[in-house]
Amino acid sequence: MFENYPIKLIIQERNEEDLNERLSRLKSIFSAGVNSSMFKGIISNLHNNQQQRPETWNKKNLDEWVIFLNPYLTKNVNENQLKLLFDYLVTYHSSVIKKNGEKYDMVVKSLSYNDKFLLEHLALKVLDI
């Protein structure tokens, strides 16, 4: 996952309470069944099939995202897992995905998992030990 060592982790939270809230949300995501490899699989495949319907490829409700993502994942994701994960991303990685009514819109056309999600990778990995 990491290309450069030593690994530097910069966490941009205002205070310890905000960091605890973020880690608590990651724990909820993990408890729902999303481990670090599923998290990476979801993030890594959000931008697939951009050539199909270019105006709407990135705008889907949860059910549509589940149907879209599951063929790319080694283990199926469900709506509850995706809701927890997407709501987390909307809060902490708004440059990746935003919520628009009942739809979640991917904002970027391509996304590299490396380094951008270091905190999430480490937290979910630790919970999986």
- The pLDDT-based confidence of 1 (bands split at 50, 70, 90) is low
Q: Answer yes or no: is 4 within a domain.
A: no
Task: Quote the CA–CA distance of 59 and 7 in Å, as a whole number.
Answer: 34
Q: Residue 94: give the domain boundaries.
A: 16-127
Mean pLDDT of 52-72: 85
- Does the pLDDT at position 5 exceed 80? no
Q: What pLDDT was estimated at residue 115?
A: 67
Residue 5: inside a domain: no
Q: Using the predicted structure, report yes or no on whether residue 51 has a pLDDT greater than 60.
A: no
Q: What pLDDT score does 48 carry?
A: 76
The answer as to whether 68 is a domain residue is yes
The chain-wide mean pLDDT, for the chain, equals 87
Whether residue 82 lies inside any domain: the answer is yes
State whether residue 87 is helix, strand or coil: helix
Q: For residue 71, give the CATH number of its domain.
A: 1.10.10
* Total domains in the fold of the chain: 1
Burial 27-39 (b: 16+ CB within 10 A, else e): eebbeeebebebb
Rounded distance between C-alpha atoms, residue 54 and residue 1, angstroms: 30
Whether 60 maps to a domain, the answer reads yes
Distance set, CA 63 to CA 22, 37, 60, 67, 81 (Å) = 25, 21, 8, 6, 11
DSSP state of 43: H
The answer to whether position 54 is within a domain reads yes
Least trusted range by pLDDT, from 26-35, 52-61, 83-92, 100-109: 52-61
Is residue 2 one of the residues assigned to a domain? no
Is the pLDDT at 23 greater than 70? The verdict is yes
Residue 64 lies in a domain: yes
